[in-house]
Amino acid sequence: MKVTVLFFASAREAIGMSETTITISSGASIEVLIASSEFEPLTALLSSMRFALNEEFSRRDAVLNDGDVVAVLPPVSGG
């Protein structure tokens, strides 16, 4: 199945792109997705990242479906 991944702010800078499509096994979770080699440049940042699945914040154990969109979101501060 194919999943679109969007990268924002420091995640985009670390990985060098704002969007990609990744082919992953059916029934995989966000955790499995981020363990793939495509995410290697983000290894140091992943512990602080949040994820959204189809525009809603999601846990890492959320199961993905074909055509889903996963956003990788770094911590945000305001002021």
Report pTM: 0.91
In the block, tokens 């704002």 appear at 18
End-to-end CA distance of the chain: 40
pLDDT (tens, 9 = 90+) of the chain, 79 residues, equals: 999 999 999 999 999 999 999 999 999 999 999 999 989 999 888 889 999 999 999 999 999 999 999 999 988 755 5
Q: Which CATH number fits domain 2-73: 3.10.20.30, 3.40.50.720, 3.20.20.30, 3.40.50.10490?
A: 3.10.20.30
- The CA radius of gyration of the chain, in Å to the nearest whole number, is 12
Domain ranges of the chain: 2-73
Q: What was the pLDDT predicted at 75?
A: 83
| Opening angle at CA 53, ends 48 and 54, nearest 5 | 140
The dihedral built from the CA positions of residue 59, 64, 70 and 74, taken in this order, carries a sign that is: positive
Q: Is the dihedral of CA 21, 28, 58, 79 positive or negative?
A: negative
| Amino acid, single-letter form, for residue 61 | D
